[in-house]
Structure 1
């Protein structure tokens, strides 16, 4: 393998019409992938896909799917499907041999209009804490989603005093914080994942350059946020090559060196 997409959602309905072709393009390009669960149904689908296609998967509960606020995205779920959070169900799914991490889980304060904001934030923090406990007990790294909530995230992780695996505590996926946020999270033993947004938005450059070689991971978050020159299209794992090229440019590295380092990082953190 040449590159590892550490955060994709190939089990989503967005790929129902041509999933086999998309997976074959990734194989042909030397791109391996971890498909990330967002609730029970999508975690189970990720396991089934991983088993069938020789991929990896995660199991977790995205903060946007809490029944108190559930958000529906047609690329992810054909129909709205509210599921009550249960740590026991996450543990059951995470026991599968293809599961390499717990998540995606975390905090998302972006879509909180029309809800009891204080109640939603509190419930998100509670559910995140329960998934941290699952990760700690099962010694599997966390895949953390954080949007407009970095102060609370860092406070929770500081209080948790994690040492999940010797290789690291997990990854902050699609990192969108400041350089100060990056430093705090790196100090807490996390890797930072960067996706296609770095090919067209410059506000992440400082954090990207600040991240040590040994803590950098690549991702697509497919089907979302395709990189230049594919903006506006459905994203897919093969497009990670464009993201890697841009990150290599920003970090003044050869593409081959970046590919080798980030692939080694993913293998180390997730035990691939």
Structure 2
């Protein structure tokens, strides 16, 4: 492998027609993939994909803004996550963006269950943190909870916080990952420049946020190459040097084998 897409949703309906072709294209680019669940059904699909494919791994959990009627069934997710191909717990955290009248206490309770499971199984968290449209600070709330759980570690997926927040997560032992949005939006440049390279990772969040030059198409894991290249360019580093470090970061965090 040369690249790791640490956050993809190959288990979503957008890939039903050409899922295997998409996996083959990723293989041709030497891209390993972590497929992320957002609920029970998609987590099961992620594990199935991981079991059937050498360079695919799974992450299982309940997205904070998924079906508000679904509960986090600890034993169900523990059983799934006990599979050696499951390398992370999540995506979990706080999402104040999607719906009006967000039940923050529900999100907090579910988040704490993910943290407990990650600690019990000694697996990293895959964090989903998104601020509200009216200024609700999901990053501050996540940092507050995580600071009380010294053992837990992992990654902040699709990081969109500021430099200080990046520093705070890194200080707690979390990496931060970036998507294809960095290829066309300049909001992330300063964080990417100033964060230690060994604390950064790459993802696509496919099928969403397709990078340039593929905008207008459905996103897919093979496009993570563009994210890696852009991180190197923003930092003013050699692309091959950056690629190798980003790969090593993902292997270390998720204990990929």
- The normalised TM-score by structure 1 is 0.89
Which SS does the other structure have where 1:22 is aligned?
helix
Which SS does the other structure have where 1:5 is aligned?
strand
Q: Deviations over 1:214-263 (max 9, x none)?
A: 11100000110000111122100111111111111001111111110010
**Which residue of structure 2 aligns with residue 100 of structure 1?**
87
Contact 2:154 2:174 (C-alpha < 8 Å) held by counterparts: yes
- Give the Cα–Cα distance (whole angstroms) in 2 for the partners of residues 186 and 170 of structure 1: 10
- The normalised TM-score by structure 2 is 0.94
Aligned partner of 2:78 among 53, 73, 91? 91
Deviation at 1:66, TM superposition (A): 4.4
- Give the Cα–Cα distance (whole angstroms) in 1 for the partners of residues 140 and 81 of structure 2: 28
Aligned partner of 1:245 among 220, 229, 239? 229
Deviation at 1:87, TM superposition (A): 1.6
Q: Deviations over 1:125-183 (max 9, x none)?
A: 110011101001110000000000111111111122x224xxxx100001000001101
Aligned partner of 2:106 among 79, 100, 123? 123
Q: Deviations over 1:191-231 (max 9, x none)?
A: 00111011111111111112111111000001100001111
Q: Deviations over 1:100-141 (max 9, x none)?
A: 01011110000232x3x4xx1111011001110100111000
- Give the Cα–Cα distance (whole angstroms) in 2 for the partners of residues 232 and 207 of structure 1: 26
Q: Deviations over 1:33-72 (max 9, x none)?
A: 111111111010001011112211011110012425xxxx
Aligned partner of 2:218 among 209, 234, 237? 234
- Give the Cα–Cα distance (whole angstroms) in 2 for the partners of residues 239 and 153 of structure 1: 29
Aligned partner of 2:166 among 165, 169, 182? 182
Which SS does the other structure have where 2:92 is aligned?
strand
**Which residue of structure 2 aligns with residue 256 of structure 1?**
240
1:153 equivalent to 2:110? Answer no
- Give the Cα–Cα distance (whole angstroms) in 1 for the partners of residues 115 and 72 of structure 2: 14
Deviates more, 1:205-214 or 1:217-226: 205-214
Structure 1 residue runs of 4+, over 6 Å off?
none
**Which residue of structure 2 aligns with residue 80 of structure 1?**
none
- Give the Cα–Cα distance (whole angstroms) in 2 for the partners of residues 266 and 203 of structure 1: 24
**Which residue of structure 2 aligns with residue 77 of structure 1?**
none
- Give the Cα–Cα distance (whole angstroms) in 1 for the partners of residues 129 and 73 of structure 2: 20
Contact 1:66 1:85 (C-alpha < 8 Å) held by counterparts: no
Deviation at 1:13, TM superposition (A): 1.1
- Give the Cα–Cα distance (whole angstroms) in 2 for the partners of residues 204 and 29 of structure 1: 25
- Give the Cα–Cα distance (whole angstroms) in 1 for the partners of residues 98 and 7 of structure 2: 22
- Give the Cα–Cα distance (whole angstroms) in 1 for the partners of residues 75 and 106 of structure 2: 17
**Which residue of structure 2 aligns with residue 31 of structure 1?**
31
Q: Deviations over 1:69-99 (max 9, x none)?
A: xxxxxxxxxxxxxx32212211111011210
Q: Gaps spanning 5+ residues in structure 2: where? A: 132-137
- Give the Cα–Cα distance (whole angstroms) in 2 for the partners of residues 192 and 214 of structure 1: 10
Contact 2:229 2:243 (C-alpha < 8 Å) held by counterparts: no
- Give the Cα–Cα distance (whole angstroms) in 2 for the partners of residues 62 and 92 of structure 1: 18
Q: Gaps spanning 5+ residues in structure 1: where? A: 69-82
**Which residue of structure 2 aligns with residue 76 of structure 1?**
none
